[in-house]
Amino acid sequence: MADFDIVALGEPLLEFNQTRPGQPEFLQGFGGDTSNAVIAAARQGARCAYLTRVGADVFGEQLLALWRAEQVDTSGVLVDAQAHTGLYFVQHGPQGHVFSYMRRDSAASRMQPEDLAHGLVQRARFLHVSGISLAISASACDTVFAAIVQARAAGTQVCLDSNLRLRLWPVDRARAILREAIGLTDVFLPSMDDMKHLTGHEDPTRTLDWIRAAGARGVVVLKLGKSGAVLDDGEHRRAIVGLRVASVDATGAGDCFAGCLLARRAQGDAWADAVRYANAAAALSTQGYGAVQPLPRPDAVRALLAGA
C-alpha cells in the first residue's frame, strides 16, 4: 500500500488577490497550481505530500506553515537560501481576472532532478504535475520529467494538468513538450481554454482526437469551465455537466478540480463519480476570493451534489 495518495510537484506562490475591482485592496493568500491541487485533495481526506523549493524568506516560511496546517507532508520541500519565493497579483475586471507575476529566478524555478532523491514519488499512488512546472525553467522541466520516470518505474500513476501559460513559453515549445509529457501520463487534465491554443480550434471532439493522436494512453478529462467536463476513458466519451453557483473569483478552480478528482479516485470512486465530485468542488471554490481559502470541505461538496 502506498504511503501517500497524491504527491504533487510544482511552484508555490504567495498570492495578493484584489477584493474590489478597480480598488487597491488586496487579500494576501497562497497559490501555485499544484500546491492548490494538493491542498484541495488533502481537504477531501487524501494523504498528500508536496515537492518543491521555497526561498529562505518569510513567504517560504508561510507556505511551509500552510502545508503543515493542511496536513500536507513537507519532507520533500527544500529551502533555497539563494533565491526568493515567487508571488503574484490577481486583479478583477469586466474580462475576468488578470494575473501579474513576480516569479523570475524563484526558488521553485531552480528545482533540479537531484531534488527527488528523497524517494517520495515512488511512495505515492498518484504523481501530479502541470504545464506551468514544465515552463518556468529548463531545470524545473527536467525535474518534472525525472519525477515522471521515477513514477512510471515504481507503478505510481502520473497525472498532468495542461495549465498552459503562454507568457512563460512560446506556443510551439509548449506544444512540443506537452505532447511528449502527454504520452507518459495515465491521467491528462486539459482545459478547453488551453487546448484551443495548441490545436487551433474549440471543438471538444476534435480536441480529444488531437490528444489521443498526441499519445494519450489513459484517462483524459477535458475541462469546460462552468459547462462541466468531458470524460474520455479510451473507450467512451461522456459529458458531465457543471453546477451553477454565484461565482466571484475563479482563481484556482481548475486546481481544485484536479486535486478533488484524484482524491476521490484514491478513495475508490468510479471516474464519472469522481468527475462529478470535482465539478461540484471546483464550482464551490469560485464563491470566495483567492486560490486556497475557498477550497471546499467534503460536507459542502456533498451538499451541493445532493441539491443538484
Beta-carbon count within 10 A of 1 CB? 4
Q: Which amino acid is located at 165 in the chain?
A: R
**Which of these, 227, 283, 214, lies nearest to 206 by C-alpha position?**
214
Q: Which residues are catalytic?
A: 255
Task: Determine contact, residues 188/230, Cβ cutoff 8 Å.
Answer: no
Task: Determine contact, residues 259/222, Cβ cutoff 8 Å.
Answer: no
